[in-house]
Amino acid sequence: MPAFPNRLPLPRLVPGPRPLSASGRPNSGHPPEASGRLGSPIGRGECRAEGGERRPPLSAPPLRRARRLQASSTILIVAWLFGSAAGYALQSVWVPIVISGLSVLASVFVLRRLLARRLGRGGEGLASPLEGARRVGAYDLLEPLGRGGMGEVWRAWDRRLERPVAVKLLRPREGASRIGRSAARRFEREALVTASLGSLHTIRLHDFGVAEDGTLYYVMEKLEGCDLATFVTEFGPMSSARVAHVLRQVLDSLGEAHARGLVHRDIKPANLFLSHRAGSLDHVTVLDFGLVQVGHGAEALGSTAAGTFHGTPAFVAPEQASDGEVDGRADLYALGCVAYFLLTGCFVFTAPTPVQVALKHVREEPEPPSRRIHAPIDPDLEALVMGLLRKDPALRPQDAASALRLLDATALPRWEGADARRWWSGREPIALPEAA
């Protein structure tokens, strides 16, 4: 069980803006994350309370088409009546005929436009559930979920398969007519890398395309839940067994990525999403491969210029912050920072500026998590976390499989579905999956 009580009951967890406290200000349950990073990725999937039951799409396509036809018929009848009244008043038989003819032409024009929208340009599929929504390809953009230096993410609706999705967009910079070549190449690489991964704990990508205005986009599965940063803000630190459950799932995703020579470079709580999925109440999904490095060494795709680094200072490995060579062990260091945060609700290091935070990761030794919180922490798990936080990459577990073996060697009890069900009971009114 978490060391902190549930401070803000969430009626329903869906991606959206950070929840507000009773004062109406953003909740400050944990220190603000140090920022100032280059190529800042999008923070997405934060919790939002939303009362009421699940709602179906706003309207079904057949109902909309019937309403449009009914509206056109009403216009025709009203025009005929108006023309007849005008003709009677002017004692002329031509007035109602002319007005009726014009109304028929107008109705035909409206119906043709509706039919064109129904079929879509290039056969994009059924009409959307929301009139007037912005569109890219076959997707209606309904609500922004996050925005950052490398694009924006929207809650969207797939008109062809009639399902909710998330769409990430990369638009031309303000004042520019098109997207820069390097930014477009990086965005495409992010989509290709994400689509190539098959772990159940990596976000799934459905589609990639270019909108008519030149906007690049890719389409992802829509997850219901919240990221781990928001979870700790709302509920406090996790128990040791639950943290181990989270780490196993993240290591599954990273293991596949590292085996293909991919380094995420931005593992942090905001990029780890906790959802109810496929009968699992605590399913973790790794998000945002926007800073991924492909390969190792100076020639690696996505490597940075000398004197700079990509990532989040509160979760950056020493070699990543000091312009050293980065491989999968940097992700494992960041995962150690995540585990530290989940166990304590605190960052490994804090400082007034992002640069000072990064320097502490390079120079200072972390304090053990058990000294930061008055709650029991499993000693074997604490030893693993401190091992992941070693400054020298050669002294850390050398890959995700090694870290997973060390995790399985602990005496921690497994966090089972019954434990998750018991914990979530009373906190989440969404219908829980039936127990097996």
pLDDT at 135 (0 to 100): 86
pLDDT-derived band of residue 264, with 50, 70 and 90 as boundaries?
very high
- What does DSSP assign to residue 39? T
pLDDT at 82 (0 to 100): 66
pLDDT at 370 (0 to 100): 94
- Contact at 8 Å (CB) between 268 and 361? no
Does pLDDT of 199 surpass 90? yes
- Among 140, 266, 331, 378, which one carries the catalytic annotation? 266
pLDDT at 279 (0 to 100): 75
| Residues constituting the chain | 436
* Residue 370 or 175, more confident: 370
CA-CA-CA-CA dihedral for 196, 198, 201, 207, to nearest 10: 50
Q: What is the pLDDT of residues 294-340, one digit of tens each?
A: 765 433 444 444 445 677 899 999 999 988 889 999 999 999 999 99
**What is the average pLDDT value for the chain, to the nearest integer?**
75
Query: How far apart are the C-alpha atoms of 64 and 87, rounded to whole Å?
Result: 35
pLDDT, mean of residues 249-266: 94
pLDDT-derived band of residue 385, with 50, 70 and 90 as boundaries?
very high
Burial class (CB in 10 A: 0-12, 13-18, 19+), 250: buried
Residue 135, beta-bridge partner list: 140
Work out the number of other CB atoms within 10 angstroms of the CB of residue 271: 29
Question: Which positions ≥6 away from 212 have C-beta within 8 Å?
Answer: none
**Rounded (10°) angle between helices 400-408 and 328-344:** 40
- Contact at 8 Å (CB) between 275 and 225? yes
pLDDT-derived band of residue 17, with 50, 70 and 90 as boundaries?
very low
Residue with tokens 């530290």, as numbered in its chain: 340
Residue 102: phi, psi to the nearest 5?
-65, -40
pLDDT at 311 (0 to 100): 79
Closest CA to 240 of 388, 416, 412, 397: 412
Instruction: Assign domain 227-424 to its CATH superfamily.
Output: Transferase(Phosphotransferase) domain 1 (1.10.510.10)
* Residue 80 or 152, more confident: 152
Percentage above 70 pLDDT, the chain: 63
Query: How far apart are the C-alpha atoms of 152 and 171, rounded to whole Å?
Result: 9
Query: How far apart are the C-alpha atoms of 208 and 336, rounded to whole Å?
Result: 33
pLDDT, mean of residues 232-238: 94
What's the pTM? 0.67
How distant is the alpha carbon of residue 18 from its chain centre?
13
* Residue 422 or 54, more confident: 422
pLDDT at 357 (0 to 100): 95
Burial class (CB in 10 A: 0-12, 13-18, 19+), 77: exposed
> What are the structure tokens assigned to 190, written together?
């992010």
pLDDT at 297 (0 to 100): 47
> What are the structure tokens assigned to 217, written together?
């986009």
Give CB contacts under 8 A, 24+ apart, made by 366-371. 366/340, 369/340, 369/343, 369/344
Does pLDDT of 388 surpass 50? yes
pLDDT-derived band of residue 146, with 50, 70 and 90 as boundaries?
confident
pLDDT at 402 (0 to 100): 95
- Contact at 8 Å (CB) between 362 and 392? no
Domain definitions of the chain by residue range: 61-119, 134-221, 227-424
* Residue 4 or 416, more confident: 416
Percentage above 90 pLDDT, the chain: 44
pLDDT, mean of residues 197-225: 91
Let me know if 266 is a catalytic residue: yes
Q: Which of 6-10, 224-228, 356-360, 396-400 has the lowest mean pLDDT?
A: 6-10
Which strands sit side by side in the sheet containing 225-227, from one edge to the other? 225-227, 272-277, 280-286
pLDDT at 212 (0 to 100): 83
Fold of the domain built from segment(s) 134-221 = Phosphorylase Kinase; domain 1 (3.30.200)
pLDDT at 276 (0 to 100): 85
Find the radius of gyration of the CA atoms of the chain. Answer: 27
Q: What is the pLDDT of residues 327-339, one digit of tens each?
A: 999 999 999 999 9
pLDDT at 239 (0 to 100): 95
- Contact at 8 Å (CB) between 223 and 214? no
Q: What is the pLDDT of residues 369-381, one digit of tens each?
A: 999 998 899 999 9
pLDDT-derived band of residue 10, with 50, 70 and 90 as boundaries?
very low
Q: What is the pLDDT of residues 95-120, one digit of tens each?
A: 566 666 666 666 666 565 555 444 44
Does pLDDT of 192 surpass 70? yes
